């Protein structure tokens, strides 16, 4: 159902973007461009084959915003909200679908959870939009209409970790402006934390000892990855004359922090990504692949997956019989799920990189960066997306779709039901490593 819902939204978006009114020229967009843009918007990625600001008309950009909002909140979440508003009732089937999409741990109060998700999302986007509009009006002398439109566009795109921008250079013209970069970075972080973590922090932010394993891992790994990413990317590009080199010291750290945040599946860039060195490209690959928090608008294999695997390795190195996070023990089923998600993601990136290398003449650095960005629904690019052959763009479309709904969601959609084994075979240990 979830796979079908997202596929339906992609097709509807493709049909709307194929209308002549959706382009500035008044001509129909190529089918591959419309399909690619629709998939990128619904999957909140941000990769593009045509320039958003110059190719699409205002109607086309509004369609993209609607698709971003629908993809960020989740097709099933919007359908559940509509059912509540129309009938004031919520059946078991709708509750189950909402539970899967919102990652709610119980079936109770799903309506309240969905309502809070929508209110929090729209409220955050409104606040960021107001801030950006005021900054553009006062600090950049933009006309009222232009400032408001740009503020709303970037607020929706940032909170949903989409990375779409009406500017051809994304946010490079604001690389030294903290009043633009920091609100967008805050929106990205909030959207990427995940709704369960946000709601738990709202309820019990004064009692960290009672936080769940999800909240503990998400917050700890977010802080670590933001710090490590900022240090690594700033150091790697510090003297690069095409990126951070010409900037003042304070602006270098601002751009490094912004790049670290955006690599966590947001997709905006304030420096030229294609001009980055191989070290920072590899560091960005790693950050993109890890992604953001579960049940949020970010992509990747998720912070909880990466953090849980780190705890598993630490427990194994210490010879512990189980994995403990704080005062909680993590069940073995969660550990297997984390391993399956990570390995499935690695397989998707490796296979698609191999295919793209065969279809294009670009280097391994560029192709792997593109594949990782698509799978992790990031949107950063070294500038090769629109130059890839049609077959390569189709590969990226499939990657974006799989990355949004999750490798395990695809696998579970193919499996009719869980298999129950009523017996166990004798145990035999084997050599590992």
* CA–CA distances in Å: residue 263 to residues 156, 249, 412: 18, 21, 28
Spans of all domains in the chain: 2-414
Give the other-Cβ count within 10 Å of 31's Cβ. 12
| Integer Cα distance of 305 and 337 in angstroms | 8
pLDDT of residue 321: 83
Q: Tokens 């304070």 identify what position?
A: 250
pLDDT of residue 273: 94
For 259-273, write each residue's pLDDT tens digit: 999 998 888 999 999
Give the other-Cβ count within 10 Å of 430's Cβ. 4
373's tokens: 């960005």
> 106 pLDDT exceeds 60?
no
Higher pLDDT, 216 or 406: 216
> 135 pLDDT exceeds 90?
yes
| Integer Cα distance of 111 and 89 in angstroms | 9
pTM for the model stands at 0.89
Taking residues 325-350, report their average pLDDT: 86
pLDDT of residue 409: 64
Under 8 Å between Cβ of 323 and 309: no
Taking residues 277-300, report their average pLDDT: 90
| Integer Cα distance of 199 and 313 in angstroms | 29
For 40-52, write each residue's pLDDT tens digit: 999 999 999 999 9
| Integer Cα distance of 180 and 200 in angstroms | 29
410 pLDDT tier (thresholds 50, 70, 90): low
Q: What are phi and psi of 42, to 5 degrees?
A: -65, -35
> 414 pLDDT exceeds 50?
no
Mapped onto helix, strand or coil, the DSSP state of residue 368 is: helix
Higher pLDDT, 82 or 399: 399
173's tokens: 């013209």
Task: Tell me the sheet residues that pair with 328.
Answer: 325
Q: Where are the alpha helices (DSSP H) in 319-419?
A: 332-359, 364-375, 390-405, 407-414
Higher pLDDT, 94 or 23: 23
């Amino acid at each position: 159902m979830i796979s079908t819902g997202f596929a339906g939204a992609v097709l509807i978006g493709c049909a709307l973007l194929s209308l002549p009114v959706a382009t500035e020229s008044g001509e129909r967009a190529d089918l591959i461009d419309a399909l690619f843009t629709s998939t990128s918007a619904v999957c909140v990625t941000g990769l593009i084959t045509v320039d958003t600001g110059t190719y699409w008309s205002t109607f086309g950009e509004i369609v993209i915003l609607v698709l971003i909002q629908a993809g960020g909140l989740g097709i099933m979440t919007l359908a559940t909200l509509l059912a509540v508003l129309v009938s004031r009732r919520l059946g078991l089937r709708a509750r189950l679908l909402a539970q899967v999409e919102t990652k709610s741990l119980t079936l109770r109060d799903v309506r309240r959870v969905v309502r809070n998700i929508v209110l929090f999302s729209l409220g955050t986007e409104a606040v960021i939009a107001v801030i950006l509009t005021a900054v553009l009006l006062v600090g950049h002398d933009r006309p009222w209409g232009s400032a408001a439109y740009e503020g709303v566009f970037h607020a929706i795109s940032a909170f949903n970790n989409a990375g779409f921008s009406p500017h051809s250079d994304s946010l490079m013209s604001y690389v030294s402006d903290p009043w633009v970069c920091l609100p967008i970075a805050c929106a990205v972080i909030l959207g990427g934390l995940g709704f369960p973590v946000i709601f738990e922090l709202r309820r019990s932010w004064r009692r960290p000892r009672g936080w769940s394993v999800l909240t503990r891992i998400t917050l700890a790994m977010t802080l670590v990855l933001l710090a490590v990413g900022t240090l690594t990317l700033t150091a790697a590009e510090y003297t690069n004359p095409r990126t951070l080199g010409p900037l003042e010291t304070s602006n270098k750290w601002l751009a490094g922090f912004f790049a670290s945040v955006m690599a966590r599946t947001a997709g905006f860039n304030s420096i030229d990504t294609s001009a980055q060195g191989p070290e920072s490209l590899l560091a960005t690959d790693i950050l993109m692949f890890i992604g953001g928090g579960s049940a949020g608008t970010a992509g990747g294999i998720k912070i909880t997956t990466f953090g849980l695997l780190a705890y598993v390795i630490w427990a194994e190195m210490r010879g512990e019989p189980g994995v403990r996070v704080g005062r909680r023990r993590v069940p073995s089923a969660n550990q297997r799920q984390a391993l399956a998600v990570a390995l499935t993601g690695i397989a998707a990136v490796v296979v698609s990189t191999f295919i793209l290398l065969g279809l294009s003449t670009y280097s391994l650095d560029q192709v792997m960066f593109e594949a990782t960005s698509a799978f992790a629904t990031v949107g950063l690019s070294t500038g090769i997306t629109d130059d890839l052959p049609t077959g390569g763009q189709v590969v990226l479309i499939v990657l974006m779709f799989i990355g949004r709904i999750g490798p395990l969601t695809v696998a579970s959609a193919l499996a009719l039901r869980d298999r129950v084994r009523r017996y166990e075979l004798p145990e035999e240990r084997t050599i590992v490593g």
